[in-house]
């Protein structure tokens, strides 16, 4: 594989020096897709022809000195829950079969304004509900490191695509770990920004108070560039943060001397965390110490309650958000119905998969009369306790380091019959969504030939420190350059 | 307000039917039994929250506190109504078309 396929920065530099054209980058992405996707099932809709036409325009702009941004002409993939005008969006659900968006999501507008070329959509768990990209009407996606294993979820297709070098960047969304956990499973860098940093306009809602768009890349340098492109205030999203976006690439100073790295003992003593995963993560922390950071012990005493609180809040919000899929306005409508109520019930029952139904049912139950206080309000109170945990911890440290996932990628089918064990895959990631704070997963080695992720969590709107820390780690190690062996 | 979570949530088939009706889902009998068992297990798991004393703790609805944003009320063109309904399974001009409503309400 040539250099152009190793990072977004390498692609940017190759374009800038004239050693390759955007058209060649698109051809390379299409070739790589054709070599790998039959095995991976990571990409759902490749816009090969449209992308080639857009690449030609980018090459013309470059020749004329009218570049829109440094990433003009670079291919990028979108998770299949972000809409693009005149293109399908399915959320990996039967209920959105045939849907073609009449408008662009904010992230698509921003990518196009920067001249980036959208290559297509990636496989995901239906409506982003899952941790393995097995809950997909399009079939499971496979992990490039071992095709019998899951690539994580719910943004598994995006993680697998970057791991397999189809593109050097892909967008994902993270509601409880759906960027960080698949990044960990596939050995790539994945960042979930602060809640509200990237507009949710045109992102199909799962749990609105937790959903956040972020990206997958191989390096923190690349993540800084993509985040720079997609972050910023958008008045169409009422939860969008108005604060100015800092220069993320400028934040990569290479210096973390004096940085305090908090180690929550709750995340290292959790029963069920693979000892080899812990070892790799501890080695990663030692690397940060060698770069001048100082490790300090912190406490996140409510960590073990995060998953329970998350599932109550997320399912409650999902039951409300998914009410809009009713067979009337878009997507699947059952045939031969006699009245409106039957149309709703049969369209939804035929259109939604098992996990989505389970979560709608749980969410409807916890919001129903007599149970609201006991479940939903209780979970929101626990959410306050989790936020307070982070406030106390960040009084003592600048970033918090944990394993991203308690284990490496599990086998396909291993957890599909046991919802709780699947949910526990998110034990170290959900708290960041509940507290709204940013988090990044970076590859920190392998266990049994499968990648392990080191998670770094930061203060609200402090993506700069997270990216700087991740970048220093990647300057000192080469885990992010490891690639899966031969994919068919 | 309940002081603590229901001790042992047992989801009955009747409850599953009731919740499914609220959620506008129709489940066959096999689905109902499986759903009851799944919900039971999940609720048993989330019951761990009952260990925590949360009396007096303010619930968090949104992690990042923002004022409700306001903007000037200026008329601007919206999406073309024909485009807006272009994904509807059935439509009449620029309107969504659905089966009759009233008879279905009698059940």
User: Which helix or strand (DSSP H or E) is residue A180 part of?
Assistant: helix A180-186
Extents of the domains making up chain B: 1-53
> SS3 letters for A27-77?
HHHHHHHHHHHHHHCCEEEECHHHHHHHHHHHHHHHHHCCCCCCCCCCEEE
* Beta strand ranges found along chain B (DSSP E): 91-92, 95-96
Three-class secondary structure of residue B62 per DSSP? coil
For an interface test with A, give the residue of B23, B56, B86, B105 to mutate (most A CBs within 10 A): B23
For residue A435, name the pLDDT band (cuts at 50, 70, 90): very high
In whole angstroms, give the CA distance from residue A68 to residue A74. 12
Please identify among residues 107-136 of chain A the ones whose CB lies closer than 8 Å to any CB of chain B: none
Taking chain A, what is the end-to-end CA distance rounded to the nearest angstrom? 15
**Tokens 């191989």, residue located:** A218
Here the tokens at position A13 are 């530099």
pLDDT of residue A1: 42
pLDDT of residue A417: 85
Alpha helices in A405-483 (DSSP H): 419-423, 430-435, 463-476
**Residue A412 DSSP code:** T
pLDDT tens readout for residues A16-61? 999 999 999 999 999 999 999 999 999 999 999 999 999 999 999 9
User: Region A4-13: what's the mean pLDDT?
Assistant: 88
**Neighboring chain B residues of A100 at a CB cutoff of 8 Å:** 86-87
**Tokens 């008329």, residue located:** B75
Comparing A81-90, A351-360, B64-73, which segment has the lowest mean pLDDT? B64-73
Domains in chain A (CATH in brackets) are: 3-255+458-481 (3.90.1300.10)
CB-closest option in A235, A361, A381 to B59: A381
Cis peptide before A154 (omega within 30 of 0): yes
pLDDT of residue A421: 85
Q: Work out whether strand A294-298 and strand A117-122 pair parallel, antiparallel, or are unpaired.
A: unpaired
**Neighboring chain B residues of A93 at a CB cutoff of 8 Å:** none
Contact A364 B23 (CB under 8 A): yes
In whole angstroms, give the CA distance from residue B103 to residue B96. 19
Number of H helices, E strands in chain A: 17, 11
For an interface test with B, give the residue of A88, A101, A308, A376 to mutate (most B CBs within 10 A): A308
Please identify among residues 223-252 of chain A the ones whose CB lies closer than 8 Å to any CB of chain B: 235, 238-239, 241-242
Note whether ipTM > 0.95 here.
no
> What is the pTM assigned to this prediction?
0.96
pLDDT tens readout for residues A98-129? 999 999 999 999 999 999 999 999 999 999 99
Percent of chain A with pLDDT over 70: 99
Instruction: Give the number of other Cβ atoms within 10 Å of residue A158's Cβ.
Output: 39
Q: Do residues A279 and A313 lie in contact, with contact meaning Cβ atoms separated by under 8 Å? A: no
Architecture in CATH for domain B1-53:
Orthogonal Bundle (1.10)
pLDDT of residue A4: 54
pLDDT of residue B60: 95
pLDDT tens readout for residues A278-326? 999 999 999 999 999 999 999 999 999 999 999 999 999 999 999 999 9
Q: How far is CA A29 from CA A25, A33, A41, A171, in A?
A: 6, 6, 15, 16
DSSP string of A230-278?
HBS--TTSTT---SPPP-TTTT--S--TT-EEEEEHHHHS-TT--HHHH
Q: Is B2 a residue whose pLDDT tops 50? A: no
For residue B8, name the pLDDT band (cuts at 50, 70, 90): low
Here the tokens at position A423 are 């949910």
In whole angstroms, give the CA distance from residue A146 to residue A290. 32
Q: Is B65 a residue whose pLDDT tops 90? A: no
Q: Is A204 a residue whose pLDDT tops 80? A: yes
Contact B5 A375 (CB under 8 A): yes
Here the tokens at position A24 are 């060649």
A85 touches chain B (CB under 8 A): no
pLDDT tens readout for residues A206-222? 999 999 999 999 999 99
């Amino acid at each position: 594989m040539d250099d152009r396929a190793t990072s977004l920065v390498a692609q940017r530099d190759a374009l800038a020096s004239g050693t390759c054209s955007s058209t060649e980058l698109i051809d390379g992405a299409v070739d790589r897709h054709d070599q790998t996707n039959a095995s991976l099932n990571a990409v759902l809709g490749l816009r090969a022809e449209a992308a080639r036409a857009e690449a030609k325009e980018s090459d013309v702009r470059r020749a004329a000195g009218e570049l829109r941004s440094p990433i003009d002409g670079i291919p990028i993939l979108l998770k299949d829950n972000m809409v693009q005008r005149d293109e399908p969006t399915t959320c990996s659900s039967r209920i959105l079969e045939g849907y073609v968006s009449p408008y662009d999501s904010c992230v698509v507008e921003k990518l196009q304004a920067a001249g980036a070329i959208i290559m297509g959509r990636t496989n995901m768990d239906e409506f982003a509900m899952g941790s393995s990209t097995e809950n997909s009407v399009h079939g499971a996606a496979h992990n490039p490191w071992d095709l019998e294993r899951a690539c994580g979820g719910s943004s598994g297709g995006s993680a697998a695509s970057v791991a397999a070098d189809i593109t050097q960047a892909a967008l994902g969304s993270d509601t409880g770990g759906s960027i960080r956990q698949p990044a960990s499973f596939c050995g790539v860098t994945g960042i979930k920004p602060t809640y509200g940093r990237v507009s949710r306009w045109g992102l199909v809602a799962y749990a609105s108070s937790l959903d956040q768009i972020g990206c997958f890349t191989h390096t923190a340098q690349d993540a800084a560039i993509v985040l720079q492109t997609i972050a910023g205030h958008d008045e169409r999203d009422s939860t969008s943060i108005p604060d100015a976006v800092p220069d993320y690439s400028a934040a990569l100073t290479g210096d973390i001397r004096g940085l305090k790295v908090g180690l929550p003992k709750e995340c290292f003593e959790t029963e069920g965390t693979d000892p080899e995963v812990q070892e790799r993560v501890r080695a990663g922390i030692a690397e940060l110490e060698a770069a001048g950071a100082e490790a300090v012990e912190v406490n996140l005493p409510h960590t073990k309650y995060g998953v329970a609180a998350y599932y109550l809040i997320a399912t409650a919000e999902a039951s409300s958000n998914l009410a809009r899929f009713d067979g009337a306005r878009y997507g699947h409508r059952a045939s031969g119905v006699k009245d409106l109520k039957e149309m709703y019930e049969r369209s939804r029952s035929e259109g939604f998969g098992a996990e989505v139904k389970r979560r709608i049912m749980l969410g409807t139950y916890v919001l129903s009369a007599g149970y609201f206080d006991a479940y939903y309000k209780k979970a929101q109170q626990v959410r306050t306790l989790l936020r307070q945990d982070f406030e106390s911890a960040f009084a003592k440290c600048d970033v918090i380091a944990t394993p991203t996932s308690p284990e490496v990628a599990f086998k396909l089918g291993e957890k599909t019959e046991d919802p709780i064990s699947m949910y526990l895959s998110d034990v170290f990631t959900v708290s960041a969504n509940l507290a709204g704070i940013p988090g990044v997963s970076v590859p920190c080695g392998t266990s049994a030939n499968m990648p392990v992720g080191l998670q770094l969590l930061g203060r609200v709107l402090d993506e700069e420190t997270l990216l700087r820390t991740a970048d220093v780690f990647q300057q000192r190690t080469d885990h992010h350059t490891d690639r899966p062996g031969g994919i068919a | 307000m309940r002081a603590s979570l229901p001790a042992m949530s047992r989801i009955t088939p009747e409850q599953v039917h009731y919740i499914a009706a609220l959620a506008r889902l129709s489940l066959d009998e096999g689905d109902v039994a499986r759903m009851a068992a799944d919900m039971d297990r999940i609720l048993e798991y989330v019951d761990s929250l009952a260990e925590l004393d949360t009396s007096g703790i303010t619930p968090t609805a949104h992690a990042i506190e923002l004022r409700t944003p306001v903007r000037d009320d200026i008329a601007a063109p919206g999406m073309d109504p024909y485009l807006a309904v272009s994904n509807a399974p059935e439509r009449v001009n620029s309107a969504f078309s659905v089966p009759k409503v009233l008879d279905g309400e009698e059940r």
